[in-house]
Each structure stands twice: as C-alpha cells, then as structure tokens.
Amino acid sequence: MIIRKGFKYRLEPSAAQRADMVMFAGHNRAVWNKDLALTKDRLERKIPISWYHELNWNMTNFWKKSDEMNWLNDAPSQCLQQTLKQFDRAMRDCFDKNQPNKRMPRFKKKGVKDSFLFPQGISFEGNRIKLPKLGWVKFRKSRDLEEKLKSATVSRNGKHWFVSILCEIEVAEPVHTSNTAVGIDRGVAIMAACSDGREYIGAKAFKKHEKKLARAGRLLARKVKFSNNWQKQKEKVQNIHSKIANIRKDALHKASTDISKNHAMIVMEKLGVSRMSKSAKGNSEKHGSNVKAKSGLNKSILDAGWAMFAAMLEYKQAWLRGMVEYVPAAYTSQRCSECGHTVKANRLSQSKFQCVQCNHAENADFNAAKNILAAGHAVLACGVGAVVTTMKQEPLAV
Ligand SMILES: [Zn+2]
C-alpha cells in the first residue's frame, strides 16, 4: 500500500536564493493574474475560455517570446505550468455544479500566500534540499524525511520561507499496536480530556500573544496606509499571527500523535464547530443577546482548533490502522458516567460535575470523555471484538 505523507520545514535560504524565491513567486503570480484577467474578459464577452493546454501553449509560444514578458523565462517552467494547472482546476471547480461553494478565483496579491510548486526534480541530503533553479537550500530539519520525494511547494509566511514536501511511502498493512479505545471530550479549558485520565491543554499561545498582537495592530492603524512604516508594521503583525498559528499547530500535533499512538480506537463528539462560532454574532440588525460573553468562548473554541485536531487524529489513525468514531453530542456533559443519571443539575459549573443521584464527583470534562467512550461502544457494539474496552484504564507506558 502506498501512502502520501507531507512534511513542512522552514527554509534557510541565502540572500540570493531568497531574492530568486521572491522573483519566482512574483512570476507565478503574474501568470495567474494575467490569465485570470483574460478569462474574465472572455467571460464578459461571452466567448469560450481557455483551459490548461491552451494556456500553456500561449505562455510558451507568445508570452515567453514577447519583449514585454520574456522575463518569465527566469522562473522554472514546471512551476509556471503548475500555476496554470491550479488555475485550470480553480476555473473548473467554479463551474462545477456539485461544488456550489466554489467562487470565481481571485487575483493574487503580493505578499499574500506567495507560493510555487515543483512537481518533480527534488532531492535531499542531510539538512539541504535541492530545488530546480535554486540549487541546494538549507532547511531546519525538525524531523526525518522519507526517501521518495514526490513534490515540493515553497511558500512564504511573513518573513519566513517554508517548503512542504509530499513523500510517497510504501507500507505494509499493519494493525494498530494498541488494542484500547479512548473517549475524548474537546473542551475549552482543557482542550482534550481523555477517558483514560490524560489531558492535553490547548494552545494558550493566542492569549499570551493577544496583547502583543493588539498593540501591534494599534500601531499599524496609526500609520499612514501603504507607507514604508506601515508595510514594516504590517509584516510584524503577520509574523505574530504566524507565530501563534505555529505554536498552536505544534501543540495539536503533539497531542494527536500521543493519543493515536496509544489507542486503536478514538471516540469523539460530532460538533458543529462552524455553527457554534457563528451563533453569537447574530445578524447586522439583531445582535445576539450576550455577544460579548459568547464571543470570548467562541474565540477559545477556534483557538483550540478543534477541526484541525480532529483531522489530525483521523489521518494519524489511518497511518497506524486505527479508527476514529464520532458519536452524537447529546447530554454527554449532563450524564453521570457512573450511574447514568442524566440531569442538568449534575453540572455544577463549567468544570465541576457532581451526580445528584449517586454523588459521583469528577471534573466535568473527564466525566464527559467517559460518556463519549461509552457512546462509542454502543455505536460499535458489534464488529469490533478486537478492541479491548476499558474505561478506567491505567495510562499506557509510552
Ligand atoms: Zn451518578
């Protein structure tokens, strides 16, 4: 079985390489924007638009040979072709009736999601990666790469450049090394409370950096828009944003790796994250009643990055041949995990749970995690005989 695995590293390019990367990103952006403008014009005039092969032929035989655009030859052809393929895909998606959410592609702006993709011709050695036309570029090797490199996307975030490498790995089809199941309550105070007693605190990075970000944002607002100082300040704001995102992602990776290594089955609640984060705002005429209190909570929800966390658990379980099961979110926070008595009064506060019937007291998140695990067993009652089920299991040795 062949699986694809992605690796992302921060590049440490030389000044010349950095200049080339800025140039490559710019040329790819120019190709995208020019083709988008032409396509929009054709649509307006109601004439058929061009797809990849025609766009590529046009670029190779006209643009690259013209006095106005022959500078395109400075960028790697394969990257430009990838940009055309991405453009082709975006146009097809936007006309696809099965994807009603897709809209017309947008013009790319300088400094926003700068990137280009090498579909082939990459290799690595130690902590250097060889990219066409750029040569050997150093990178921060935070974890080991797999042997077979498939493609590499170079992208920019704030002042740093990154490379995302897609590897193809041939693996046997093993079974998960663990045979236990775990329930996870995805909370606000504790990001993930597990039925085995472990807890993973969410990235509070945002809160720590919030003040920093607010201050930087205020300074930005005071500067003259598009002035040099404004550009500099804007870069600072972007750097704080990306720093927060990185810290958060790191915490989510550590937690999801740990959980998926230790359990063959992971049970979580089905939660409508997008709906929860929208509800407090209300609409422009009628604002939600306690917007302020709710928006604080919503921010924390988004902060913890639940959707991202679930996605990580899913693919990590897929690698390890484990499984992820979702159960309905009803009453898991009000039910007593010992006697099953379900009543609102059991929940004393956000963090305290005490059963009014059997007096069982526990942190509310762990109580919920146990209920989630039990609900998972109910769903999977038949067909998972291999999974040993224990709710009060000792933490496994790592
Ligand atoms: Zn009880």
* 3-state SS assignment for residue 386: coil
Residue that is written with structure tokens 């011709």 in the block:
121
Rounded to the nearest integer, the mean pLDDT of the chain is 82
- CA separation for the pair 333, 185 (Å, rounded): 9
- CA separation for the pair 154, 69 (Å, rounded): 23
Q: Show the CA angle centred on residue 112, arms to residues 109 and 118, nearest 5°.
A: 100
Split at pLDDT 50, 70, 90, the class of 243 is confident
- CA separation for the pair 339, 355 (Å, rounded): 9
- CA separation for the pair 12, 318 (Å, rounded): 32
Q: How far is the CA of 337 from the centre of ligand 1 (A)?
A: 7
Task: Identify the structural domains of the chain with CATH numbers, from first to last.
Answer: 2-170 (no CATH), 181-209+250-379 (3.30.420)
Asked if 41 is an active-site residue, the reply is no
- CA separation for the pair 1, 263 (Å, rounded): 22
Q: How far is the CA of 357 from the centre of ligand 1 (A)?
A: 5
- pLDDT at residue number 205: 55
Which among 185, 196, 199, 325 is annotated as catalytic?
Answer: 185
Q: How far is the CA of 88 from the centre of ligand 1 (A)?
A: 59
Tokens read off for 205: 């990075």
Asked if 365 is an active-site residue, the reply is yes
Report which DSSP code applies to 393.
P
Asked if 269 is an active-site residue, the reply is yes
- pLDDT at residue number 168: 80
| Residue ranges in the chain assigned as alpha helix (H) | 15-44, 52-61, 77-94, 205-222, 228-262, 273-279, 291-304, 306-320, 364-379
Q: How far is the CA of 126 from the centre of ligand 1 (A)?
A: 57
**pLDDT for residue 345 is more than 80:** yes
- pLDDT digit string, tens, across residues 304-342: 578 888 889 999 998 888 889 888 877 888 899 998 898
Tokens read off for 89: 């895909």
User: Which H/E stretch holds residue 77?
Assistant: helix 77-94
Q: How far is the CA of 187 from the centre of ligand 1 (A)?
A: 21
Q: How far is the CA of 351 from the centre of ligand 1 (A)?
A: 17
Rounded to 10 deg, the angle between the 291-304 and 205-222 helix axes is: 110
- pLDDT at residue number 141: 81
Strand partners, 193: 185, 199
- CA separation for the pair 139, 165 (Å, rounded): 12
- pLDDT digit string, tens, across residues 184-203: 998 766 778 999 989 887 55
- CA separation for the pair 271, 279 (Å, rounded): 14
Residue 15's contacts (CB-CB under 8 Å, 6 or more residues apart) are none
Amino acid type, 195: S
Q: How far is the CA of 198 from the centre of ligand 1 (A)?
A: 22
Q: How far is the CA of 361 from the centre of ligand 1 (A)?
A: 8
* 3-state SS assignment for residue 166: strand
- CA separation for the pair 203, 197 (Å, rounded): 19
Which among 114, 303, 325, 365 is annotated as catalytic?
Answer: 365
- pLDDT digit string, tens, across residues 67-89: 999 999 999 999 999 999 999 99
